[in-house]
Structures are given as C-alpha cells and as structure tokens.
Amino acid sequence: MPSEDDGPTSTHDASILEAIRSALSDEMERNERVVVLGMDVGRLGGVFRATQGLQSRFGPDRVVDTPMSEGAIVGASLGLAIGGMVPVAEIQFLGFTHQAYHQIGFQLARYRFRSRGRYHAQVTIRAPFGGGTRTPEFHADSLEAQFTQTPGISVVCPAFPDDAKGMLLTAIRDPDPVMYLEPQRIYRTVRGSVPNGDYTVPFGVSRVVREGTDITLVAWSAAVHLCLLAADQLAEEGVSALVLDLRSIVPLDVEGLVRAVVKTRKAIVVHEAPLTGGFGAEVVATLHEEAFGALDAPVARVASCDTPYPPGALEDYYLPSLDRILLAVRTTLHASG
Amino acid sequence: MPAADTGLADLDRLPKTETNVISLLDDRGSLADGFAELLTPDQIGQAMRLMLLSRAIDDRVTKLQRLGRAGTYSPVHGQEATVVGSALALDPARDWMVPASREQPAMIRHGLPLDRLLAGYMGKINFSRIPDNVRLLPRNQSIASQLPHAVGLAWALKLRHVAGVVLVYFGDGASSEGDFHEAMNLAGVQSVPLIFVLINNQFAISTPVAKQAAVTNLAVRAAGYGFPGFTVDGNDLFAVYAATQWAVMRALAGGGPTLIEARTYRVGFHNTSDNPKDYRDEVEVTAAVARDPIERLRKYATGVGAWSTDIEIRTMKGIASELESAYLRAVAVPRPGPGDIFEHTAASLSTRVRRQRRQVKGEEDNG
C-alpha cells in the first residue's frame, strides 16, 4: 500500500472536503463493513456535503441518517464495532461532542482496556471544528485538548488535502478509536495535490510544511495556514520561520517537535482553543522537558482568549490573528537577543 | 398490538394483576393454569441452582470484601428470578448479553466461568477477561452507558444478517439517564433485535423509584419509542421467562425491540459501601423478603416433583464445592503488576506511553 514515504506517485488536485469525501467513498468500496452514520449524512450528504453521494451509491443501510442524538451515535458506533462493523460516525460540529463526551472518552476510549482486549473499538469520529466562519454558538469551538485527557483515543487534525485523505484512511483502519477533526474554515479553500489510489499517512508523525532556520511555528489544523501566512510576512522582514504541522496531537510526535525546535532554537505554538489548558501547554511542557538546553527564549503561546466563544462578530478579536502571531515571534526573537 | 407482526399472540394470554403486571407464579408458589409446560423440570432445576448459586456468590464475595480480599460488590439478593428468568430465554450460542453490574447468575448462565467472575471482584483483571466464545460484554459502572452499545451491537447483527438478539440489563435509575432515551429512540427507529430489561428494584442507591420518575409503570415509556413495553413480576421466574421469550421470538422474527420492566426489590445493599438502614424501613424489607423469588420457585418446584430437600442439599454441596474451587483458582492467579496498566490500552503504544511503562515498571529509561 503506498504511503507518504513512498515518494512520487500520481496525484490529483482536490480540496480538503473533496479528499475526505473520496477517501470515504473509496474505503466503503474496499470494505463492505464500513458504515457512515450521523445527522443529515444521508440524502443531504452532510451539512458540509462531506458525505454527498454516498447514500445513493451505497444505500441507506450503509449511510445512515440518525436521530439527533450524539450520545447514541457514538455509543451505537461502539456496539456496531463490537458486532463486526467499521463505523465512521459524523458529529455535525465538534462543539456538540459534549453531548457524547462520556461515550467518547469513557466508553470508546476505554473499551479495549476494560475488556482486557476481548473487544476493541474500531470507530472513527469525524467532526468539523474551528473558528472564523461566523457560525452560531457551539459550531466553532476547538475542543481537541479535552480528548487528550481521555487516553485510549487518537486525536488527529489534518490541515491539507493529502493528509485529509491519508489520515482518514489510517483512522478508519485503526483498530482503536480516532477523533478525526476537520478544519471547517478551510474545507474548500485549501486545495492541493492528493495521491491517487490507496494512500495512508501514519499518526504521530509531524510534517515540516515550510523549512526555516530562525524560529519554529508549531500548529495543527487551520492554524497551520495562519502560520504559513505569518512565515511569508516574516520572510519579507528577513526572518526565516519553520512551520511545523503536528497533524496528530495524540499520538504526539515528540521527536519531530524537538528536532524542529532544536534546529531553530526558538519556537511559538499557535492554536484556536483557549489558552489555559490548551494543547499548546503540552507542547511547551514537552519542549521544556526534552529540549530546554536548546532553547534561546521562552516558548510563547498564541491562543484564543479564556472566555466563552464569542458571537461571530467578535471572533476575530478572540482567535489567534496574524498580528498576534507576528507580535509573539518578534517578542521571542527579541528575548533571545 | 405489535404481536400480530410476528405471529406471536400469546403475550395477551399471559395473566396480569389488576395493576397490569404479568404474573404467573404467585407468592405461595401457585402457577397460573396452562403454564406448567413453560419450563421443563430440567430448566426449573437449572434455575433453582443458578439462583442458589447467586446467593452463595453474594455471601462469599461480601465476606471476601469484608476481609479485604475483594473489592466493591453489589449483591443480586432479591433479584434472582429477574436475571435468571431472562437469561434462560436466551441461546448463549446465538444471542448476546449486555450486563449492567448486578446480573451475576445471568452472566454465568450465558457462559462466563465462575472463577473468572470471582477474579473480577478480586482485582485479577486479566483472568477476569470474558472468554472469546462467550457473547457477553463487560460490566459497566457508568449507569445507562451500555444501552447505546447494545443498540449498536443489535444493529450490527441486523446489518450482517446474523441470527440472534441482544439483551441489555439496566435499572430504574438508568431509565432517567439521557442514554436511556437516546438508545430506546435509536433502537425503535432502526428496529433492532434488542430486549431492554429494566430491573426496577425500587432503588438507585438510596433514591426510591418514586423520585426517579413521575410514572409508576416505567414500561409505558416504550410507547414513546414505537415498540411494546410491559411490566412483569420480577420475582416470578415464569413471568420473566415468558415475557423474555416472547420478546426474543419477536426480535428474531424481525419485529424489533421490546422493553420489559421487571418489578422486583433490592433486598441487599446497593454495594458493600452502602448501609440501607440509613434510608429505608425494615418493615419494607421484611415484606420484600416474604416475596423471595427462590422460596416461591422452591415451593412450586417441590409441589410438582422437580425439587426436593434432598436435591437442595446435594445442590448446595455442589455449589459450595464449585465456589470453593473457583475461588482457589482465582486466588492462585498472580496479581496484576504495574505493567498491566499499559496492557490492552491500544493496539500499539506511542513512544511516550512506552516510556511511561518503563518508568512505572522501574526499568532503566533509555529514552
């Protein structure tokens, strides 16, 4: 099976959304045990159309419109997996996983452990998230760090179409549960070349999306693209910024993170979740433990405010912005002398 | 009546009390006319043995807990007819059982070896693993969380065209949880082969069922989900068996889910950390003890020649010896070690977790 390590292969151009849709379709074609379930995923094809066309192709038994019932979508997915199916559940927005949090963190994530390996939960939960689209309340919250406190489930956040495909296929085939978090703001706007055929990307391997020598900008999901913009601007100022896309936060690529930061000796971490208890704190602590001697300056965090997610009209003040990233970079460069 | 869907019409034939509770075997051990063939003498003997074994397990594990040799234990005492009667209506080679946490004899009847059951209470986590050929899910301490799992499992059987049903146990307290509603609703919509057995034992720890729900008949809730629900006398092995059998046949025939409320009484404590004297009157308990499900079946079985004092003495001897040897086997299993924290957490461990394992096991950390 080709993977990203196999070098050049034939590709096609696709958006993140298109890459997700075709990966789902291809895997359903390959494996008849794969079922898609969630609210509005059937005839409508999902509120973002990620599952468009799947029901007409695979039928209503394999692409199932469920009741508005997040807990049952996840809990039943666990039962389906125990019964030999391979469910790919969609939670319409990550903010609504709170209504299934116990089923995700305390049932899906623990079932292998609780049953001492008798059962495992080969379940993928897809959920779009992230701000900047002026959505109503709960539709933009970045809750990814919450699922890092319920061990037993991977948390992955692709930011590019090729990773969207490769990581979704890895997720569906993973014998253990995966939170596959989709960057809704850039679903359609970020396009790229996607390898054709069967293509997987392993979890726990970060990706240097832009090389640099002066500072490392660490991010995942849509924030990676904000960091790329920042790196463009910094380049004009003569600062060479490395942009590291973690891609998965559980498992975390500690080695890749340390390698990038040791190279630039300075780093910041950017995420859309609130600052306190965000995964950026884990990144900083990890660098502190693993690369303290290599750091020329404290690792700064650029995150959303420790407030409830504000209405769309105010979210630009709340979310990390290009200006705040640039300010953090300049402060870090200054602190290092 | 949905019974017509499946050609099963006998539910209406089952005698009911004036409060609409299906009841076949009364407190005096007298069986309603026409049901003598419902259970064979062998099945009655098997049920008696399982119920007596259950009570012996209650006594043994409670004592072990008091001695510090077992963890928290929830006795079945008082509810034996509910769990044994329902379990007997299943085919362990075909059907799945999803327990809550107080259905020990049902789990044993479904195939869980006694030594593995005991080992679970004794912290022998690996030995207590459910064997691969037993269609049973682990006990679940998060009340009602197992209900959506049972729906999914039954749904998988349906999607894969595998013959079989799923039976899930839960309590009156669980029926107040959101998972109950979500699971019942999805089960109805997908018409999955599932039997919801609501064990109404009158208490969620100390909270009486009257504070759990504004309806007195919890079975009526099934109507809101589009499938049948009815209440049975949970201390009546015959009633529980007949109702479950009806629901199993209906599910196998593609008729979908059923809710059975088995009305019983938790004679024992909630668990070994609980003291029920703090919240309920002894008078009430005495009345419940007088309706003991084992005594009721014993009277009937003795009357029809399927049981006797001699059989009981022999059975109790057999149970004592079975329990002792199972206990000794469980004792002999080594205690889990620190490395077991990391076993069965994932198919593959991350570098970070592998390092934690080395640290916890006291091994040299080479990064």
Write the CB contacts of A336 (distance below 8 Å, at least 6 apart in sequence): A265, A266, A296, A297
**Nearest alpha carbon to residue A283 among A206, A202, A229:** A206
Strand B229-233 with B21-22, pairing: parallel
Q: How high is the pLDDT of residue B221?
A: 97
Domain that holds residue B358: 337-367
CA distance B86 to chain A (A): 21
CA distance B237 to B245: 12
Interface test with A, best of B149, B354, B356 (most A CBs within 10 A): B149
Which of B125, B148, B352 comes nearest A254 by C-beta?
A: B352
Helices (H), A7-128: 16-30, 54-58, 70-82, 101-105, 111-114
Nearest to A89 by CA among A117, A114, A65, A59: A65
pLDDT higher than 90, residue A141: yes
From the number of C-beta atoms within 10 Å of its C-beta (0-12, 13-18, 19+), residue B209 rates as buried
CA A251/CA B351 separation, integer angstroms: 8
Instruction: Please report which confidence band the pLDDT of residue A184 belongs to, taking 50, 70 and 90 as the band edges.
Output: very high
The span from the CA of B202 to the CA of A7, in Å, is 65
Paired strand residues for A219: A245
Which domains are delineated in chain A?
A: 10-195 (3.40.50.970), 207-335 (3.40.50.920)
DSSP B315-367: HHHHHHHHHHHHHHHHHHSPPP-GGGGTTTS-SS--HHHHHHHHHHTT-----
**Does residue B23 share a domain with residue B116?**
yes
For the residues B290-302, what does the mean pLDDT come to? 97
- pLDDT band at B2, cuts 50/70/90? very low
Q: How confident is the model at residue A8 (pLDDT cuts 50, 70, 90)?
A: low
Q: What tokens appear for B2 in the block? A: 């949905």
Q: CB under 8 Å to B261, separation ≥6 — which residues? A: B198, B200, B217, B218, B219, B229, B230, B231, B232
> Are the Cβ atoms of B160 and A83 closer than 8 angstroms?
yes
**ipTM score for this prediction:** 0.96
Q: Is the model's pLDDT at A337 over the cut of 80?
A: no
Q: What is the pLDDT of residues B321-343, one digit of tens each?
A: 999 999 999 999 999 999 999 99
Q: What is the DSSP letter of B305?
A: T
In angstroms, the separation between the Cα of residue B88 and the nearest Cα of chain A is: 22
Residues of A in contact with B157 (CB under 8 A): 83
Nearest residue of B to residue A123, measured between CA atoms: B152
Q: Are residues B291 and B361 in the same domain?
A: no
Q: Are B119 and A49 in contact (CB under 8 A)?
A: no
Q: How confident is the model at residue B363, as a pLDDT?
A: 83
- Residues B200 and B314 occupy one common structural domain: yes
B284 and B318 together in one domain = yes
- Residue B7 pLDDT: 42
What sections of chain A are H helices per DSSP? 16-30, 54-58, 70-82, 101-105, 111-114, 161-173, 223-236, 254-264, 279-291, 315-318, 322-335
- Given a cut of 90, whether residue A316 has pLDDT beyond it is yes
Q: Are residues B363 and B237 in the same domain?
A: no
**8 Å CB contact between A53 and A24:** no
Whether A115 has its CB under 8 Å from any CB of chain B: the answer is: yes
Q: Are B233 and B263 in contact (CB under 8 A)?
A: yes
Residues B274 and B360 both lie in one domain: no
pLDDT at residue A107 tops 60 = yes
Q: What is the average per-residue pLDDT within B64-83?
A: 97
Q: Are residues B234 and B366 in the same domain?
A: no
C-alpha separations of B12 from B3, B177, B354 in Å: 9, 30, 60
Query: What band does A2 get if pLDDT is binned at 50, 70 and 90?
Result: low
Q: How far apart are CA B347 and CA A167, in angstroms?
A: 17
Pair A207, A227: CB distance under 8 Å: no
Same domain? B275 vs B153: yes
Statement to judge: residues B296 and B362 lie in one domain: no
Position B13 scores a pLDDT of 85
B223 and B363 assigned to the same domain:
no
pLDDT of residue A336: 81
Q: Which positions of B are catalytic?
A: 266, 270, 279
Per-residue model confidence as pLDDT tens digits over A80-99: 999 999 999 999 999 999 99
Say if residue B4's pLDDT is above 80. no
Whether residues B265 and B365 share a domain: the answer is no
Q: What's the sign of the alpha-carbon dihedral A21, A23, A24, A25?
A: positive
Do B85 and B109 touch, CB atoms closer than 8 A? no
CATH number, position B19: 3.40.50.970
Nearest-angstrom CA–CA distance, A334 and A307: 29
> What pLDDT does residue B366 have?
54
Task: Categorise residue B357: left if φ over 0, alpha if ψ from -120 to 50, beta otherwise.
Answer: alpha
Tell me the nearest-neighbour CA distance from A44 into chain B, angstroms: 19
Report pLDDT for A9.
Answer: 79
The model's confidence at residue A14, banded by pLDDT at 50, 70 and 90, is: very high
**Tens digit of each residue's pLDDT (9 = 90 or more) over A242-298:** 999 999 999 999 999 999 999 999 999 999 999 999 999 999 999 999 999 999 999
Question: What's the pLDDT score for residue B12?
Answer: 83
A79·B132 Cβ contact <8 A: no
- Of B8-17, B112-121, B150-159, B307-316, the range with the lowest mean pLDDT is B8-17
Q: What is the mean pLDDT of chain A?
A: 97
- Show the CA angle centred on residue B194, arms to residues B193 and B199, nearest 5°: 160
Are B153 and A85 in contact (CB < 8 Å)?
no
pLDDT at position A225, please? 98
Whether pLDDT at B8 is above 60: no
Per the structure, the count of domains in chain B is 2
CA distance B65 to A265: 57
Answer yes or no: do B45 and B190 share one domain. Answer: yes
Average pLDDT over residues B189-206: 97
Cα(B231)–Cα(A10) distance, rounded to whole angstroms?
A: 63
Per-residue pLDDT, averaged over B88-109, amounts to 98
Q: Which residues of B touch A102 (CB under 8 A)?
A: 142, 145
Per-residue pLDDT at B154 exceeds 70: yes
Read off the pLDDT of residues A202-221 as tens digits, 9 standing for 90 and up: 999 999 999 999 999 999 99
pTM exceeds 0.90, yes or no: yes
Number of CB atoms found within 10 A of residue B177's CB: 18
